[in-house]
Amino acid sequence: MPRFPAPFTASLLACCLTLLALTASCTTRTANPHRSGGDGGTPTADLGGRDAVIPGYDGACEAIDVNAQPGTANVLVVLDRSSSMYREAALGVEGVDRWNPAVSAIESVTATLGDRVQFGLMLFADPDAAAGSTLCGAGKVDVAPATGTASAIATHLTGDPNTLTGSWTPTAASLDAARVALTGLEGRNYVLLVTDGAPNCNGALDAATCRYAGTIPDNPKLCIDDVRTVASINALAAAGIQTYVVGYDTSAWADVLDAMAAAGGTPYSAHIEVSNAATLTSALTDIAGSIVSCTYDLSEAPALNYVHVTLDGADVQHESVSTGPGAWRLTGDRTVELTGAACDSLRDGGTHALRIVRECFTLF
């Protein structure tokens, strides 16, 4: 075997080491950052032949689920417990039961959408009002708006309907109490009023000249209190609180409830009339579903074109590249808003899986 001079051997070794270093450098520049894993170094993207760090990504370049919290929607269900909501049949008197269907509908909707909407409950008149005012005591918040309140609401509505109902209809005073309770809560606030009669309990009215709705003669508290109630709903709207008006067998007072609904600031210019558990459940589901938030606040601000949104396993594209009926957009620096059919799906009352992922590669 030939022997080479030491200077020649050293030169050859230096050349080989240089070649290995160049090969390693080329491998690093052309490594694919568009996948999870890697060598633990900072991931890079090829931008015109030079390396650039992908903003906000960890060394392993893993696709990361970004924690997303829906925008808060507080819905206070304001339920009429007047005597006309329930009456047992007696000799010569037909029974009426609007209470149990109303309870069933409220329990169904709060159980179905209670993870996406913060439901609360107010019964009016307040059955615990001071002695002598239980017929007209303003409602109070029985269950504060929060997620997962279906059980608490159901518990509060459980009992003998003869005991749970039996008041008059102090709608204006109860809506004023609802406004005070909701003002200042984080998120969007709504009142969902369910009633089977016209508002009353205003002792300042004149029983001789008012529109009278009672069977007891000459009692001003049985005058229809429409002007004050509409004013209360206007005050709610001025505070940024929308009021939905649902009337249960209220055709006789349709004009009054329509005026109330028109002041509510919702998409409904007239009240929603229902007549049984099925129509009430449908109405409440539609209302509460429309309130479900389609905006999601992210735990951190992502780079826009690395965001991957899926709904029930199907891709939702960014609005700039979407060719379908649904899309998403980024509002501010960390709020994802679903639009079109994607938002409609979230609001249909069903159970859905929304996933927002910060990928390691550009999607659009």
Structure tokens at 319: 């609005």
Instruction: Please report the pLDDT score of residue 237 as a whole number.
Output: 98
Q: Find the length of the chain.
A: 364
Question: Between these two residues, 257 and 291, which has the higher pLDDT value?
Answer: 257
Query: Which tens digit of pLDDT belongs to each residue from 290-309?
Result: 898 888 888 888 888 899 99
Prediction pTM value: 0.75
Are 310 and 251 within one domain? Answer: no
- How crowded is residue 175: how many other Cβ atoms within 10 Å of its Cβ? 29
Residue 28: predicted pLDDT:
30
Question: Do both 276 and 324 map to the same domain?
Answer: no
Give the domain CATH number at 174: 3.40.50.410
Q: Which residue has the tokens 């639009």?
A: 339
Whether residues 66 and 77 fall in one domain? no
Residue with tokens 């606040």: 297
How far apart, in whole angstroms, are the C-alpha atoms of residue 172 and residue 176?
6
- Whether residues 119 and 140 share a domain: the answer is yes
Contact in structure between 339 and 327 (CB atoms under 8 Å): yes
CA 76 to CA 22: how far, in whole Å? Answer: 68
Three-class SS of residue 119?
Answer: strand
Shared domain check, 331 and 250: no
How many whole angstroms separate alpha carbon 67 and alpha carbon 215? 58
Q: What pLDDT, on the 0 to 100 scale, is given for residue 110? A: 96
Note whether 66 and 76 are same-domain residues. no
Any domain includes 57: yes
Assess whether pLDDT exceeds 80 at residue 43: no
Phi-psi region of 268 (alpha: psi -120 to 50; beta: other; left: phi over 0): beta
Give the domain extent around 41.
Answer: 37-70+295-364
- If DSSP codes are grouped into helix, strand and coil, which group holds residue 107? helix
Place of tokens 């690395």: 306
Q: What is the DSSP letter of 223?
A: B
> In the structure encoding, which two tokens stand for residue 212, read together?
């009278």
* The residue to which tokens 């007891």 are assigned: 216
pLDDT tens-digit readout, 180-195: 999 999 999 999 999 9
How many domains are there within the chain?
Answer: 2
Is 306 in the same domain as 359?
Answer: yes
Do 126 and 219 have their domain in common?
yes
Asked if residue 242 lies in contact with residue 182, where contact means CB atoms within 8 angstroms, the answer is: no
Same domain, 284 and 362: no
Beta bridge partners of 206: none
Confidence of residue 48 (pLDDT cuts 50, 70, 90): very low
CB-based contacts of 50, cutoff 8 Å, min separation 6: none
Whether the per-residue pLDDT at 3 is higher than 60: the answer is: no
Instruction: From 312, 329, 311, select the one nearest 320 (Cα to Cα).
Output: 329
Q: Can you list the alpha helix ranges (DSSP code H) found in the chain?
A: 6-30, 99-113, 150-156, 161-164, 171-182, 226-238, 254-262, 277-291, 340-346
Would you report the helix, strand and coil content of the chain in percent, each value rounded to 5? 35, 25, 40
Report how many helices (DSSP H) and strands (DSSP E) the chain contains, helices first.
9, 18
Q: What are phi and psi of 336, to 5 degrees?
A: -90, 130
